[in-house]
Structure 1
Amino acid sequence: MATGETGFDDVTYDLVSVQYHALKAGHDYGQYVRDARNAGRDDIADFFEKVMSEDSARAKQCHEFIKELSKSSESGPAVTS
């Protein structure tokens, strides 16, 4: 795997990016759930909770992959140091 200017290989960078966006979106979805509940739309609130749960699982899977890559020299010095 090529290591870019950041010191991270492309795959690790991509995983970190997906993890960040999943976690950030999960934070935002909490407000969406409240908005839907306040509007009396429990069906939409339930949908947002499902999406939030999926993003949480996505972030966790990224974390597991990053841990796995950190045990390998393929990920670059920013992860394996």
Structure 2
Amino acid sequence: MGTQTGQLDPPGLAPPGKRVEFDVREIAEIRDGLVSRIRIVVDMMDVMRQLGMFPARGSQGERAIALMQRLQAKLVRRR
């Protein structure tokens, strides 16, 4: 849980000051009994939805974005 108070980079979005709650997955790589690397994975789509930067799941806005993405993919495949 946290509150976005600073700019979100990328893409440089202004802070709305909203509280968000999200799951974090940590993936640890261990070599010779010691942690050699840690990867932190966050569902940024969920975070952006909570901050009001992306339409709600199942909304008309989300469906419109999905439609545009599918059309773009068709155009790319035709080239």
Fold match (TM-score > 0.5): no
Give 1 or 2 for the bigger CA radius of gyration.
2
- Per the normalisation by structure 2, the TM-score is 0.31
Q: Which has the higher strand share?
A: 2
Higher relative contact order (CA 8 A, sep 6+): 1
- Per the normalisation by structure 1, the TM-score is 0.30
